[in-house]
Amino acid sequence: MMMPQTNGRLIVITGLSGSGKSTALKALEDNGYLTIDNLPIVLLPKVLAIRRESGGFIRLAVGMDAREPELAARHQSVFREVRDMGYEVELIFIEADDDALVKRFSETRRPHHMAPSGDIISGIRAEREYLLPLRREAGEIINSSLLTAAKLRETIIDRFSQEGEKRSMAVEVLSFGFKNGLPPEADLMVDVRFLPNPFYVGELRNLDGRDRAIIDYVMAAPEAQGFLDRFMALLTYLLPLYQKEGKSYLTIAVGCTGGQHRSVAVAGFLWEAVCRIFDGNIHLRHRDIM
């Protein structure tokens, strides 16, 4: 019998409430998966059929849990139908110990959907019993009791990255002028108003930091090189740590008074330097260039 052509990869995330299913789905979304949370089991083949009509190989992750009354009874037949459609199906079950779940529910003050009377332990145990058939069939079981949200995210991304695919963090180097306000998107911010200001040099005033004359003027200052050497040493240390922590976006903001000269020249230098030391999506933006 000829096997059907593989149309895509489907990851089903299920497990106990409070165990980290939403964190796992978000990690997959950031890693290039289309994600759908709390999808009714009977709708899964229909969603895949619609997606297939758009053509191409897809990667889809869906979250399903005990809020779905038909999940335990119908998952086997639905997953069989999905595999017959040509999709790879991987079932991941995330759980945690009772003590860890009780603590998480107490901290968030969320009610347990299977504990209408407020008895969290009874709700957890009822949910374990309901989901037992899925746990038995899961290709992988992850116990998140001792995992932080960041560590669970890292575990999921490491497990489901495509072979040879590197996790990538997008880095933006942004120039701005303090007189126009601080950029709210900044993760790291540096003030370069200590550098000589080309604004007070007549022939340079109407240029901006992308012009060679401005770059040469700013970089010729002795304090410029000292600053850049130290700041690049800091970035060399920090960038891999931010990526390891699972950060998807990092904005490095460089500010001067008006955002025309010094910050633009320094941001351009930093952008080129970061491109040399970091393998990722790196962008340069000048917010206040006229």
Domains in the chain: ranges and CATH: 8-160 (3.40.50.300), 170-286 (no CATH)
Q: What is the structure's pLDDT at 129? A: 93
pLDDT mean over 41-70: 84
pLDDT band at 109 (very low <50, low <70, confident <90, very high): low
For the stretch 234-267, pLDDT in tens is 999 999 888 877 677 899 999 999 999 999 999 9
Predicted local distance difference test score (pLDDT) of residue 254: 97
Q: How far apart are CA 255 and CA 82, in angstroms?
A: 53
Percent helix, strand, coil in the chain (nearest 5)?
Answer: 45, 20, 35
Q: What's residue 164's pLDDT?
A: 42
User: What's the pLDDT at 228?
Assistant: 96
Strands 170-177 and 58-63: unpaired
The total of other beta-carbon atoms located within 10 Å of residue 200's CB is 8
Q: Which of 151, 171, 199, 120 is nearest to 283 (CA)?
A: 171
Q: What is the CA radius of gyration of the chain?
A: 26
In the chain, the amino acid numbered 61 is A
Per-residue pLDDT at 221: 93
Total H helices, total E strands in the chain: 9, 9
Q: What is the mean pLDDT of residues 70-92?
A: 91
pLDDT of res. 93:
94
What is the arithmetic mean of pLDDT over 268-286?
Answer: 92
User: What is the mean pLDDT of the segment spanning 268-288?
Assistant: 92
Higher pLDDT, 115 or 211: 211
Q: Mean pLDDT of all residues in the chain?
A: 87
Q: Provide the token pair at 199.
A: 């604004």
SS3 169: coil
Q: Where is average pLDDT lowest: 97-101, 151-155, 179-183?
A: 151-155
Taking 80 as the threshold, does the pLDDT of residue 206 lie above it?
A: yes
Confidence of residue 53 (pLDDT cuts 50, 70, 90): confident
pLDDT at site 4: 44
Which strands make up the sheet holding 249-256, listed edge to edge?
Answer: 188-191, 249-256, 170-177, 282-286
pLDDT band, very low/low/confident/very high, at 55 (cuts 50, 70, 90): low
Give the mean model confidence (pLDDT) for residues 82-102: 91
Tell whether the model's pLDDT for residue 167 goes beyond 60.
no
286 has pLDDT over 50: yes
Instruction: Answer with the residue of higher pLDDT: 81 or 8.
Output: 81
pLDDT classification of 279: cutoffs 50, 70, 90: confident
The reported pTM is: 0.60
**Residue 111 pLDDT:** 73
